[in-house]
Structure 1
Amino acid sequence: MGNHFLEGNFAPVEREYTSTRLTVTGQLPGYLDGRYLRNGPNPADPDPETHHWFLGRGMVHGVRLREGRAEWYRSRRVGTDEGGANTNVIGHAGRTIALVEGGLPQWELSEELDTLGVCDFGGTLSGYTAHPKRDPRTGELHAVSYQFGLGNRVQYSVVGTDGRARRTVDIEVTGAPMMHDFSLTERYVVFYDLPVTFDPDQAPVPIDVPDPLTARTGRGVSSLPYRWNPDYPARIGVMPREGDTSDVRWFDVGQCYVFHPLNAYDEDDRIVLDVVRHPKMFDRALHGPAEGEPTLDRWTVDLALGKVVEDRIDEHGQEFPRVDERLVGLPHRYGYATALDDRSRSVGTVYKHDLHKGSVDAHRFGPGREPGEFVFVPSSADAGEDEGVLMGYVYDAAEARSDLVLLDAGTLETVAAVHLPDRVPHGFHGNWVPAEA
């Protein structure tokens, strides 16, 4: 049986690329001055029997936009041959940082995406997350990090605008979960303690970790040492921003897994969490997420009654949810996501959710065109929530290359496309990094 996470546009590319002669269809908005960057794994000589999509040295693909022009496209491997962060890439405190989770090192990149060295936030952190959240009021990065070496703890941290951690708090959890992401509101930090846990039987080297921290399943072989653990309780934790582990309140939820919340916000004595919910993860499908279509759900945490109400927003398969970053932790109306099937394959569509109307609009790219994650960029600092563009890479199977496509966030009509000379493999997360960031 093949490994579809090494086929088609999941397959790695063989070389780094630089192009300063890019063709553009349509008109790039003049207000865009910065780089669109996206990270993803680009493994060398992977073994199809054991390869997991989440593994492999990272490669960042970037396009520089300025004054209505596309100045360059670059793809660069991250880190060293021994490994490089492969999951996200951000700008913070004047640095470009490639991110990964699980205790592996983060890497600082140059403006042109070459690796400069390991980033440890000025010696204040060892290990980080692929999903920090920037507080739109303060500019600080909030994060929840995990690694199996921490045992039954995860770490909440706050990195200031100077690029150094000003606060770290260890939080006790049930076992050793893969806590890929978290949620942030104006008042609270929300932890997703869900039943995908460290499995030493799948680790690349023997590791002795006592139960109940692990899921010892013995089913199959994967290069990623995390598995579905049906005996692990599914719950979410709520902690005041300035609290510690003794202040966390835990709430049961139905068995499932969440990689990515869309956003979260406070509403009186409730917390509203919009999340992409997977029914199961890494139980029998061990090469990547492929155990049922992920849906967009709303979980409402009632702090007074001590319970969570779970509702379905949209049953279509989707992932990589994004919101206007100016509204992280605040009430939002719109959210964006990429349509995926039950094996994490792109089905050629980007969704726009209007959460006030309860409606969803779609942009369909056409046969053989496969979008990845799309991010929202406002047209100005005070623009409305859908006044701006969505941007992301779209693979064209017929031409075996990719475009950077910009959509009008209000109408979902195509604004422009930057035609790239190479293929951008399906990967994970990216961001618009303004020139002043």
Structure 2
Amino acid sequence: MTDDRNNPYLEGLFAPVSEEVTAHDLHVTGRIPEALTGRFLRNGPNPLNIEDPAAHHWFSGEGMVHGVRLRGGRAEWYRNRWVRSDAVAARLGEKGPQGPRHLGMDFAPNTHILSFAGRNLATVEGGALPYELDHELNTLGPYDFRGTLPGGFAAHTTVDPATGELHAVAYCWAYPYVQYLVAGLDGRIRQRVDVPVEGGPMMHDFSLTASYVLLYDLPVVFDMDGASRGDNFPYVWDPARPARLGVLPREGPAEAVRWLGIDPCFVFHPMGAYESADGRTITVHLVRYDKLFDRSSRFGPDEAPPCLEKWTVDLTAGTVRQEQLDDRPVEFPRIDPRRATLEHRFGYGVVQPGDGYGAERSRLHLETPGELLPPDITQVGIGLVKYDLVNGTTQEHRFDPRGDVGEGVFVPSGQGSEEDHGWLLTYVFEPGRDATDLVVLDARDLEAEPVARIHLPVRVPVGFHGNWIPDER
């Protein structure tokens, strides 16, 4: 059953935009670094047509990709485009894209976008295929890795900086296993490992080291009853299900996975993982929730504030030590992509309301009734934080608390530059303009004024993940 109350994920900063926009020669405050030559792309839900707003779940909206093209110190264009599934194309009066489907799923991926083997791929989890986009964000159609993808794909992937290959862990409600997949440089799946997992757990992400894949088998599981009722998001918290971390050798069979017990929790996003020099331990930094989707809210992940933790996996003893590193609510952790699978010193995240921040936002909402922010939503970002994981120090850049800050994506200043020598790129909603800026921050000094603000003509709704896609050299 649903009630007639307003859905907070259809209001304020979360409200979907209704038009596709193309704008050229964007106004810039500051100076765009010449080294930033490419496209900054971000994906997120932007529902086209909602029959029952009270039942709508944030995760179920059709994907829309927002992009800015940078070249020669200029912001050449901004575009936003819905990913065209058959249903989206029909609503827009267009012919649907041609291509394969998995289990008949026709869903416009709404979670991430990446570039691999010369293709831009919008991704989502749960059994659907990625969809390929061209460089101007037009949908080309579903993509199955040249006919080699054995099922659906995953929202999150990792490119191994040592090999350039793409790694993913895919799950689907219909299968009693998860799939560890590796795509070679030719764009074909070259390795598949089916790891048996009962109960249909939601594995939003995974971790990769030089030798291992880490699988997060946690108490959020597929709810068959909810699916039968037609719930838009049929996953729930199962308090009876043990939480465990799987350690799978990258070149090993499914039988080689070791399952290690951990405290009950849920993890959407690891920051990074790496092995010790002697190979006896694995260090993982990640964002942890105490509990999620426990039926207290039908709309989205708003039950408990997430926090940054360090997990130390002792491969000899078979134990996992969990240690909280920060009291701030934080999400969307990222590192320098050149350090994926390797030891890294710096990480970045989005600071969310909480521990005083939420009260500040609520007060601002009451003082300015016309502002966009619903006061009971905590997934909106208010700043970016840089973690020095060696020294235990942080830097933070705060923005207007009435607005929103998206995921910060690190872009190195050059292939051989040091780990934190580069920029953080993020979309920031500016209430004073009633529109969004693409903000460029110096990653070495996050507290400094932005290097550049690229002023978009429209608002970018609160969304999920994206990447910097440099021009091919």
Structure 1 length-normalised TM: 0.94
Separation of aligned partners in 1, 2:287 and 2:469: 25
In terms of mean alpha carbon deviation, does 24-33 or 335-344 score higher?
A: 335-344
Partner of 2:174: 149
Partner of 1:361: 395
The answer on whether the counterparts of 1:222 and 1:286 sit within 8 Å (CA) in structure 2 is no
Separation of aligned partners in 2, 1:327 and 1:423: 33
1:45 shift after superposition? 3.0
The answer on whether the counterparts of 1:84 and 1:105 sit within 8 Å (CA) in structure 2 is no
The answer on whether the counterparts of 1:40 and 1:60 sit within 8 Å (CA) in structure 2 is yes
Within a 5 Å distance, the mapping from 1:228-239 to structure 2 comes to 228-239=237-248
Partner of 2:292: 281
1:94 shift after superposition? 0.7
1:222 shift after superposition? 4.3
The correspondence for 2:453, drawn from 399, 417, 426, is 417
The one-letter code of the counterpart of 2:243 is A
The correspondence for 2:331, drawn from 294, 307, 319, is 319
The answer on whether the counterparts of 1:98 and 1:107 sit within 8 Å (CA) in structure 2 is yes
Separation of aligned partners in 2, 1:99 and 1:347: 22
Within a 5 Å distance, the mapping from 1:10-409 to structure 2 comes to 10-46=14-50, 47-82=52-87, 83-125=107-149, 126-150=151-175, 152-203=176-227, 205=228, 222-267=231-276, 268=278, 269-283=280-294, 284-341=296-353, 343-409=377-443
Higher helix share: 2
The answer on whether the counterparts of 2:204 and 2:268 sit within 8 Å (CA) in structure 1 is yes
Provide the aligned C-alpha RMSD in A.
1.3
Post-superposition CA distance 1:243-270 (Å, at most 9, x none): 1210000111111100000000001301
1:33 shift after superposition? 1.0
SS at match of 1:346: coil
The one-letter code of the counterpart of 2:73 is G
Separation of aligned partners in 2, 1:85 and 1:174: 25
1:281 shift after superposition? 0.7
The one-letter code of the counterpart of 2:38 is G
Higher strand share: 1
Partner of 1:432: 468
Between the two proteins, the alignment pairs up a number of residues equal to 421
Using the aligned pairs only, state the percent identity.
52
The answer on whether the counterparts of 1:79 and 1:85 sit within 8 Å (CA) in structure 2 is no
Structure 2 length-normalised TM: 0.87
Separation of aligned partners in 1, 2:381 and 2:113: 25
In terms of mean alpha carbon deviation, does 404-413 or 78-87 score higher?
A: 78-87
* Unmatched segments (≥5 aa) in structure 2: 88-106, 355-376
Separation of aligned partners in 2, 1:428 and 1:116: 22
The answer on whether the counterparts of 1:222 and 1:287 sit within 8 Å (CA) in structure 2 is no
Separation of aligned partners in 2, 1:384 and 1:109: 32
Post-superposition CA distance 1:359-418 (Å, at most 9, x none): 111000124231010100000001111101000101123322101000000001210011
Separation of aligned partners in 2, 1:185 and 1:65: 32
